[in-house]
Amino acid sequence: MSTKPLAIHETPIPGLLVIDLPVHGDARGWFKENWQRQKMVAAGLPDLGPVQNNVSFNQAVGVTRGIHAEPWDKYISVATGRVFGAWVDLREGPTFGAAYWHEITPDVAVYVPRGVGNAFQTLEAPATYTYLVNDHWSEAQQARYTFVNLADETVAIPWPIPLERAERSAKDLAHPRLADVTPVPPRRTLVVGARGQLGRALGALWEGRADVDCVDRDVLDIASAESVAAFDFSPYGVIVNAAAYTAVDLAETPEGRRACWAANATGVGRLVEAARAQRALLVHVSSDYVFDGEAEQHTEDEPLAPLGVYGQAKAAGDLLVGTLAQHYVVRTSWVVGEGKNFVRTMAALAEKGVDPSVVDDQIGRLTFTQDLAAGIDHLIRTRPEPGTYNLTCAGEPMSWAQIAAEVFTMTGHAPERVMPVTTADYYAAQGTTEGDGTVAPRPRRSVLDLAKIEATGFLPRDQRDALGAYLAAS
C-alpha cells in the first residue's frame, strides 16, 4: 500500500487537481481518509462542501463512461479496482477543449471543477468508482449537463482499451463532437438592489458585460421570504447585495424598525443561505453606523457597537455574512451617487441663496458610488482573502459643515455662508434630539481606516478630488 504523503498537484486544465492520498495497509487490507476536509483544504484543495455521495460499480474491464460536464464540482476516487480517468475542459475560455488523463487507484483522487467534462474506463475490475458532489442531482440539473463524444478526434484521448472494444452506453455514443459543443458559460453575477444609488453605479460600470443581471425589489425583494424562495439563484457565482433599508431616522419608529430589520438582517440572512447553497461569493455593503464613533478611525476588526436601530440591523447582517466561506463585507460611509443627496442639496441651497446650518461635530469621509462600485469590482476580480474591507474615498477627514463649505466654494459661492453648528443644536432647532424615537443617534467619528483595501492594490480617490469631479459632472 502507498505511504506517500497527502499532496495536491495542478494539471493543464485550470482547477482540475490530482490528489495523492496516503493509504495504510496490512494483512487485513487497507485504510485511507478518502475525504478529510481540514487536512485537504489546508493542503490547497478547494472546500468542496459535499452534499451527495455517488457510487458507480463496474463489473467488467473496459466499461467506459462519459464525457459529462456537470453543473457542480466533483471529488473522484476509487474504493476497489483501477480506472483510467479522462477530463476535457468544456468551459468557455482559452482552455476550452484542453484534455488531461490520469490513472486512478485507491491512493489517487481527482478534484473536477464545474464545467470540466469527466470520463473513465475500467482497467481492473470490479471497479468501485465513487464521487462526492456539492449539489443535489435533479432532472432539472441534468438538463444543464454538457457532453462531448468519447471518440472525439480533436480531444484525442488515448484510451488504453480501444473504444470499439469498450462497453459504452447508447447515450454516450450519441454525444456531439467538440466542434458542435456549446461551451459552458461562466457563472453569472447578480446585483440585488439595482435601482439604488450603488446598484445604478454597478449597472453603469458593468454595462458592457453580458454575464451580469441587475434586479430590484419587483424581481427580488430580500425582505420577503416568498420572493427569495421563488427566485432562481442557481446561475450565479457572485451575488452583490446593494439593497438596504437606509432611512436611519424612520428606523427608530415601530414601523420602521420592523422594515429595517426585515431588509438589513433577516433579508441578508436569506441571501447568505442562497449564496451558501450555490457556493457563490457574496459581496455585502455595510456601514459606519455599526460603530459608536468613539475611535479616531475604525479598523475592520474593531468590535461592533451600533448606537441605533439602523446600525444594529446592519451589524446583524454583517455577522450573518461572515458565516460564509466566500464573502466580502464592504464597509463604507457617507455615500453619494445619483438622486437626492447631501452634496446636491448643498449645491441647490448655494444657488438659491440659502445659508444653511450644517453640523460640524460629525467627522468622516465621503464615498462616491463610482468609487464604491470600482472597489467592489476590484475585490471580485482580484479575490483577496475573504472578510471585511473598509472602502471610502481617501484624504483628510472633514465634517459635514466643511464638506458643505467645499461645495459652496466649488460652485462659485462664498463658503462663509455655511454656518457650523453642533448636532445637538441642529436638532434642538427642529424641536428634536438624537435618540428620542424620531432621530437616530449618529456616530461622531465615521473615519474608516483604508490600509487593508489599499494593500490589495485598490487606491481610492481623495474625497476633495472626487467631490470636484462629481459637481463638474452634475
- Give me the active site residues, please: 68, 131
Return the C-alpha cell found at 251: 428606523
Length of the chain: 474
190 CA to centre of own chain: 9
Residue 89: CA atoms inside 13 Å, Cβ hemisphere, count?
Answer: 18
Residue 377: CA atoms inside 13 Å, Cβ hemisphere, count?
Answer: 19
DSSP annotation of 290: G
Nearest to 197 by CA among 236, 164, 151, 242: 242
Residue showing cell 483522487: 109
Instruction: Report the alpha-carbon distance of residue 259 to residue 378 in Å, rounded.
Output: 32
Q: Which helix (H) or strand (E) holds 66?
A: strand 64-69
DSSP annotation of 195: T
Nearest to 451 by CA among 399, 378, 394: 394
Return the C-alpha cell found at 32: 485511507
Q: What angle do CA 90, 95, 100 make, to 5 degrees?
A: 75
3-state DSSP helix/strand/coil % of the chain, to nearest 5: 30, 30, 45
β partners of residue 86: 101, 119
Instruction: Report the alpha-carbon distance of residue 191 to residue 248 in Å, rounded.
Output: 23
Q: What secondary structure does DSSP assign to 97-148, as a single string? A: T-EEEEEE-TTEEEEE-TTEEEEEEEEEEEEEEEEEESS---HHHHTT-EE-
> What amino acid is encoded at 59 in this protein?
Q
* DSSP helix/strand/coil, 451: helix
- Contact of 310 with 248, CB cutoff 8 Å: yes
Looking only at the bridges linking them, the beta strands covering 357-359 and 363-364 are: unpaired
Return the C-alpha cell found at 176: 456531439
Instruction: Report the alpha-carbon distance of residue 145 to residue 211 in Å, rounded.
Output: 19
Cis peptide before 67 (omega within 30 of 0): yes
Give start and end residues of each alpha helix (H) in 262-397. 267-278, 309-321, 342-352, 369-382
Return the C-alpha cell found at 305: 457597537
